[in-house]
Amino acid sequence: MKSEKSSEKSENSTTVTVAENGPLIMNGSIEVTNHEGNKEVMTKAAFCRCGVSNNKPYCDGSQVAACFKG
């Protein structure tokens, strides 16, 4: 899959930033649906990449104690 980089950002865009040794940080219009079908709408969220968060799918900082690298 080819990735195209653009410095332009539309008003309705959502951005995803990979934090070094940390979570995926999303900014913009975000709608999360849980396993029961309940929806949360937010403008900023940090999603776990390390797998050890006690608040999945969100990051709770557990990657630090787990020495997550990625």
- Helix or strand or coil: residue 58? strand
Pick the CATH number of 17-31+40-70 from 3.40.5.90, 1.10.357.10, 2.40.30.10, 3.30.750.80: 3.40.5.90
Domain extent listing, the chain: 17-31+40-70
Assess contact for 62 and 52: CB atoms under 8 A.
Answer: yes
Assess contact for 68 and 50: CB atoms under 8 A.
Answer: yes
User: What amino acid occupies position 22?
Assistant: G
- Please list the pLDDT of the chain residue by residue as tens digits (70 residues): 555 665 565 667 999 999 999 999 999 999 999 999 999 999 999 999 999 999 999 999 999 999 999 9
Model pTM score: 0.80
- Dihedral sign, Cα of residue 26, residue 67, residue 62, residue 34: positive
Question: Largest alpha-carbon pair distance within the chain?
Answer: 37
